[in-house]
A and B are shown apart, each in its own frame.
Chain A
Amino acid sequence: MKLPLALVTLLSCGALAQHTSNWAVLVSTSRFWFNYRHLANVLSMYRTVKRLGIPDSQIILMLSDDIACNPRNAFPGTVYNNADRALDLYGDNIEVDYRGYEVTVENFIRLLTDRVEPDTPRSKRLLTDDRSNIFIYMTGHGGNEFLKFQDAEEISAFDIADAFEQMWEKKRYHEMLFMIDTCQANTMYSKFYSKNILATGSSMLDESSYSHHADNDVGVAVIDRYTYYNLEFLENNVQSASSKHTMKDLFDSYETEKIHSTPGVRTDLFKRDLKDVLITDFFGNVQNVEIDGEDEQKWKEDVLQLSKLAVDFTMPGRKNGTCASAKASVETPAPAIKKVGAVRVEGSKGWSRNAMGVGALLTCVAAWVAGSALS
């Protein structure tokens, strides 16, 4: 599966350093009612990227999704990111790709590196190539160089950095924007070492990120400050996919006094000047189409042949693999099968059991007497 794709991308790799597709991975790593705001953060981002044209098929949404229908929600089936409750983030067409207990570190890394089960549906895969721009947004509870996933496990800055390197090696992205809103968020991107990554976070080491405001009828904080001001900028300035605002404009809009923490930007891995990087390079779906007129038909046939070859090459191996495992399972002795199901409980039936018991005991006593006599 992977091989033909890689080949396709190899062949299609042109000299132009521009992207041809936009993807977004939006992750809320927390659970439980009191983390309402994390869900609202991520849904707000979801709404923004959708507004700017990225289709659902190119957005991977990971969230616990236990808020809208939580019994504690005074407004069932809704999620708001503002106390004015003007916009129901949950009302639109929401496609959640990983929900509930599927939001795990393992699934997240598998998604990024595309090391997934063969039968994973397309909606759960990041089908990017080396001409794809990826926007990764994460929010949740974090600490110095780690981010908690649903109070059960955590991902470290090294894990993410290595996953990104693997993506780079596998030519799974062209450029990447990594945005994170947690406590001590900037530590999360401090370990990156792969090319073409632009990273930004909400707070420095030993700094907490704060929520923006609470809705006193819902009874919880509804959005985080950093995300709030990002959204504010995007809503006010980036009205459509044709907007010419750059990432520099966005980063310059950050104000520590408003955000109550020190947002960070990391550009050393990113080779373009921020002044030239449009916001829509990551948030919108602006594609540069390449037209390669000559021998188009031939080229397509080549690719088809190659992918067929590749499929032939990979599929038998997989078949062999499954056969071998099937064989192995035959060879291992099958565990004694116990009848599962309701067993009729007989009434306490006395004498046969008793007789057997008495017999056994008498045998013991006889052996004992004999043994004592012998010695």
Chain B
Amino acid sequence: MSILTSLRSTRILKFLPLVSALCILVGITWLLLLPLDDYSRRTYISENALLPGQVHTYFGGSEQDVFRAYRHEVTALGKNASADGSGVMAEKIRGIFEAFGLKVGKQKFEYTTAGGVYAGENVYAVLQAPRGDATEALVLCAAWINTEGELNESGVALVLALARYLKRWSLWSKDIIFLITSDSRAGPQAWVDAYHDLHTPPAVTSLPLKSGAIQGVVVVDYPTSRGFESLHIVYDGINGQLPNLDLINTAVRIASGQMGIRTTLQEMWSHDNEYKDRLRTMLRGMVNQGLGHASGPHSSFIPYHIDAITLQAYGDGWHDEVTLGRTVESLFRSLNNLLEHFHQSFFFYLLMAERRFVSIGTYLPSAMLIAVNFTIAAIGLWLKSGRLNDKEDEDNKSNDGKGSEEKEGLLKSGEKAPSADEQPDLVSEERPLLLSMAFVVAIHFLGFIPLYLFNNLDEKNFTRAFYVFTLLNIALPSVLCAIFTKSFAPTSLHFTLIKCFSLLLLGMFLSALATLNFSLSFLIGVFASPITFINPTPKRKWTVGAAWMALLQGLTPTTALVGVALYWGEPLSEILKEAAFGWRVWGMWTQVVVWCVWWPAWIIAGVLVAGSWAVEA
């Protein structure tokens, strides 16, 4: 009659779990193969216009003295004024910019999230291109306080010195905006929101001065007054979006090729370009991408389709501010050559060394395979649920005790299927969909509760709330299962269908997510993969059930959260604060995915395992 029946009549059904397992295995192996030479590619500049490193740079000489003077001022200001820039910093910087003859604007912002207040003032100056048409702009940015909370003394001073220096050139085709934000997290976001008129006054004030469409952003992070050893390029954007690979390539090429500075990625301070280090770089990149948080001031720009990177001075070495200044100068000359924006190259990639990457076509199958495993399992369960009915039907005819028992359950559940004796063909096609579907949907809506809680509680209560939630979370599947079985008397068919829909949704969400944020989809897929293999029919020994439950408890979102906290070595409350901040300020979607996709799938898996006791008892 159809493909489905032909599928049912063959023995493919039995192989489906095997296919699922194979998908997961191949998906993970695929990812592990990527760092090999055969699967990754060397980076190259695909945008002809960039011409990286083809210019002489002249920053240096007397500019170095100017730089030192500014650094002196910045250090003094940093010691005196309160750290978050209560307006003193902005006022002072404004004076310096105005002395160059640049137009200056200031912007105040204040975000309130999870009981905390994040306020500050950004200051920026616009260098109008002498012969340009003011339709495009580049941004050179330094945060007053960097992501580590240190005073970015050399970084800010370098931006000031470069502003003075770059103004002397007449060859800019785009305006250059010099931006000093008062912090690394909220400031850039407030500024870029206001630049595109998507801010929320009065908490974030409008910009008094604007230029053209921003084509590229370079952030300088150089918090010491000593020399540095290597340049750390940070590129992750919010929600795992990445800047155009050409920008990173250009920076790498200029820094290492022209200036002779070693470049590093993803905090891999030493990198031998062998398999192990490549894999570690890639995995670190995936974790950052998956978490979707802002890894630097540049991250806020990326969702606006502005390519941005942060250049971080790292370690103690003999490179000084002049080398960094020249790198930035050369980088800006290259960006200046751009026509419109970065057209070509890659927006989806995984970097595994500064000159080695894989593009989406090569890596996407791994996440897709894992997502597809859930879909395959769901299809298998759907077919199986049809067979369950058939079997019941046969059982019914032969008056087998077990079968009739299940039959009663089926009728009890309130389905209006006509009696099987009259129309046997109908029963084989009809499944008790409504209850299972409603249960799955309800659990997914349940996810909004933790989402709301963890975004709206006061930060002081985060740790306590988290522990309470974790405890509740352990018991929740069993409780839900008990309630469910008591009030609806579900049969194994119901459980099969519940699992079917849950896996279908999970597979669907993860494959859609894989196109937006590959890493998050992959990580959640791996964590959730055991769910595929839970047997939904409640015929299992309690020891097996207990073992399953223990395994599941090890794979909850809450456990993952603890893992992230350990990975970064930060207290839990900090992580939760960051998450709430990200949700409110950056528009970070990670929490939604965790609480409304992963957590419901986990809960349903728990209910299925718990069902083995509840139903049998």
- Whether A and B touch directly in their complex, counting CB atoms under 8 A apart, is answered as yes
* Residues in A whose Cβ lies below 8 Å from that of B170: 74, 76
Q: Closest chain A residue to B132 by CB distance?
A: A71
**Cα of A220 to Cα of B51 in the assembled complex, Å:** 7
A70 and B55 form a contact (CB under 8 A) = no
**Cα of A34 to Cα of B54 in the assembled complex, Å:** 11
* Residues in B whose Cβ lies below 8 Å from that of A55: none
Q: Closest chain B residue to A74 by CB distance?
A: B171
> B7 interface residue, CB < 8 Å from A?
no
> B129 interface residue, CB < 8 Å from A?
yes
B172 and A71 form a contact (CB under 8 A) = yes
* Residues in A whose Cβ lies below 8 Å from that of B131: 69, 71, 76
> A73 interface residue, CB < 8 Å from B?
yes
Stretch in A7-15, A211-219, A240-248, A253-261 with 4+ CB within 8 Å of B: A211-219
Stretch in B14-22, B333-341, B426-434, B607-615 with 4+ CB within 8 Å of A: B333-341
> B48 interface residue, CB < 8 Å from A?
yes
Q: Closest chain A residue to B56 by CB distance?
A: A216
**Cα of A203 to Cα of B170 in the assembled complex, Å:** 38
Chain B nearest CB: distance from A75 CB in Å?
A: 9
* Residues in B whose Cβ lies below 8 Å from that of A217: 55-56
Whether A34 touches B132, Cβ cut-off 8 Å, given contacts A71-B172, A72-B173, is no
Count of residues in A whose CB is under 8 Å from the partner chain: 16
A33 and B333 form a contact (CB under 8 A) = no
**Cα of A73 to Cα of B339 in the assembled complex, Å:** 14
A33 and B171 form a contact (CB under 8 A) = no
A34 and B49 form a contact (CB under 8 A) = yes
**Cα of A183 to Cα of B161 in the assembled complex, Å:** 43
B55 and A219 form a contact (CB under 8 A) = yes
Q: Which of A69, A71, A219 contacts B51 (CB 8 A)?
A: A219
Cβ contacts A293-310/B at 8 Å (1 or 0 each) = 000000000000000000
Whether A216 touches B171, Cβ cut-off 8 Å, given contacts A34-B48, A71-B131, is no
B337 and A219 form a contact (CB under 8 A) = yes
Tell me the residues in window 73-92 of chain B with beta carbons closer than 8 Å to chain A beta carbons.
none
Cβ contacts B161-191/A at 8 Å (1 or 0 each) = 0000000011111000000000000000000
Select the residue from A33, A34, A70, A72 with max chain B CB neighbours within 10 A. Answer: A72
Q: Closest chain A residue to B334 by CB distance?
A: A219
* Residues in A whose Cβ lies below 8 Å from that of B48: 34
* Residues in A whose Cβ lies below 8 Å from that of B333: 219
**Cα of A33 to Cα of B170 in the assembled complex, Å:** 15
**Cα of A307 to Cα of B336 in the assembled complex, Å:** 57
Q: Which of B56, B172, B339 contacts A32 (CB 8 A)?
A: B339
B56 and A34 form a contact (CB under 8 A) = no
Q: Closest chain B residue to A220 by CB distance?
A: B51
* Residues in B whose Cβ lies below 8 Å from that of A76: 131, 170
**Cα of A221 to Cα of B170 in the assembled complex, Å:** 20
Cβ contacts A185-222/B at 8 Å (1 or 0 each) = 00000000000000000000000000000101101110
Select the residue from A32, A34, A216 with max chain B CB neighbours within 10 A. Answer: A34
* Residues in A whose Cβ lies below 8 Å from that of B56: 216-217
Cβ contacts B311-341/A at 8 Å (1 or 0 each) = 0000000000000000000000100110100
* Residues in A whose Cβ lies below 8 Å from that of B171: 71-74
In terms of DSSP, what is the predominant structure of the interface of chain B? loop
Tell me the residues in window 4-38 of chain A with beta carbons closer than 8 Å to chain B beta carbons.
32-34
Cβ contacts A63-94/B at 8 Å (1 or 0 each) = 00000011111101000000000000000000
A33 and B337 form a contact (CB under 8 A) = yes
**Cα of A263 to Cα of B457 in the assembled complex, Å:** 74
Tell me the residues in window 318-368 of chain B with beta carbons closer than 8 Å to chain A beta carbons.
333, 336-337, 339
Chain A nearest CB: distance from B612 CB in Å?
A: 61
Cβ contacts A33-50/B at 8 Å (1 or 0 each) = 110000000000000000
Q: Closest chain B residue to A218 by CB distance?
A: B55
Select the residue from B51, B172, B333, B336 with max chain A CB neighbours within 10 A. Answer: B51
B54 and A71 form a contact (CB under 8 A) = no
* Residues in B whose Cβ lies below 8 Å from that of A73: 171
Q: Closest chain A residue to B174 by CB distance?
A: A71
Q: Closest chain A residue to B171 by CB distance?
A: A74
* Residues in B whose Cβ lies below 8 Å from that of A219: 51, 54-55, 333, 337
* Residues in A whose Cβ lies below 8 Å from that of B54: 214, 216, 219-221
* Residues in A whose Cβ lies below 8 Å from that of B339: 32-33
B55 and A33 form a contact (CB under 8 A) = no
Chain B nearest CB: distance from A185 CB in Å?
A: 18
A32 and B49 form a contact (CB under 8 A) = yes
**Cα of A330 to Cα of B23 in the assembled complex, Å:** 72
Q: Closest chain B residue to A219 by CB distance?
A: B55
**Cα of A292 to Cα of B601 in the assembled complex, Å:** 100
Cβ contacts B35-69/A at 8 Å (1 or 0 each) = 00000000000001101001110000000000000
* Residues in B whose Cβ lies below 8 Å from that of A221: 54
B55 and A216 form a contact (CB under 8 A) = yes
**Cα of A289 to Cα of B173 in the assembled complex, Å:** 52
**Cα of A261 to Cα of B51 in the assembled complex, Å:** 22
Chain A nearest CB: distance from B56 CB in Å?
A: 4
Q: Which of A32, A71, A74 contacts B129 (CB 8 A)?
A: A71
Cβ contacts B292-309/A at 8 Å (1 or 0 each) = 000000000000000000
**Cα of A363 to Cα of B87 in the assembled complex, Å:** 66
Whether A72 touches B55, Cβ cut-off 8 Å, given contacts A32-B49, A33-B49, A34-B49, is no
A72 and B51 form a contact (CB under 8 A) = no
* Residues in B whose Cβ lies below 8 Å from that of A216: 54-56
* Residues in A whose Cβ lies below 8 Å from that of B172: 71-72
Chain B nearest CB: distance from A308 CB in Å?
A: 53
Chain A nearest CB: distance from B338 CB in Å?
A: 9
**Cα of A69 to Cα of B54 in the assembled complex, Å:** 20
* Residues in A whose Cβ lies below 8 Å from that of B132: 71
**Cα of A70 to Cα of B337 in the assembled complex, Å:** 10
Chain B nearest CB: distance from A289 CB in Å?
A: 49
**Cα of A70 to Cα of B129 in the assembled complex, Å:** 12
Q: Closest chain A residue to B49 by CB distance?
A: A34
**Cα of A69 to Cα of B55 in the assembled complex, Å:** 19
Chain A nearest CB: distance from B15 CB in Å?
A: 48
* Residues in B whose Cβ lies below 8 Å from that of A33: 49, 173, 337, 339
Chain B nearest CB: distance from A90 CB in Å?
A: 16
* Residues in B whose Cβ lies below 8 Å from that of A72: 171-173, 336-337
Whether A70 touches B173, Cβ cut-off 8 Å, given contacts A33-B337, A217-B56, A219-B337, is yes
* Residues in B whose Cβ lies below 8 Å from that of A220: 51, 54, 337
Q: Closest chain A residue to B131 by CB distance?
A: A71
Whether A34 touches B337, Cβ cut-off 8 Å, given contacts A71-B172, A72-B171, A73-B171, is yes
Chain A nearest CB: distance from B147 CB in Å?
A: 33
Sample of 15 further A-B pairs with CB below 8 A, known A69-B131, A220-B51: A33-B49, A33-B339, A34-B48, A71-B132, A71-B171, A72-B171, A72-B172, A72-B336, A74-B169, A74-B170, A76-B170, A214-B54, A216-B55, A217-B55, A219-B51
| Chain A residues in the interface with B (C-beta under 8 A) | 32-34, 69-74, 76, 214, 216-217, 219-221
Q: Would you give 5 A-B contacts (Cβ < 8 Å), ordered by A?
A: A33-B173, A71-B129, A71-B173, A216-B54, A219-B55
| Chain B residues in the interface with A (C-beta under 8 A) | 48-49, 51, 54-56, 129-132, 169-173, 333, 336-337, 339
Nearest 9 pairs of A and B residues by beta carbon: A71-B131, A219-B55, A71-B173, A216-B56, A34-B49, A74-B171, A71-B132, A72-B173, A214-B54
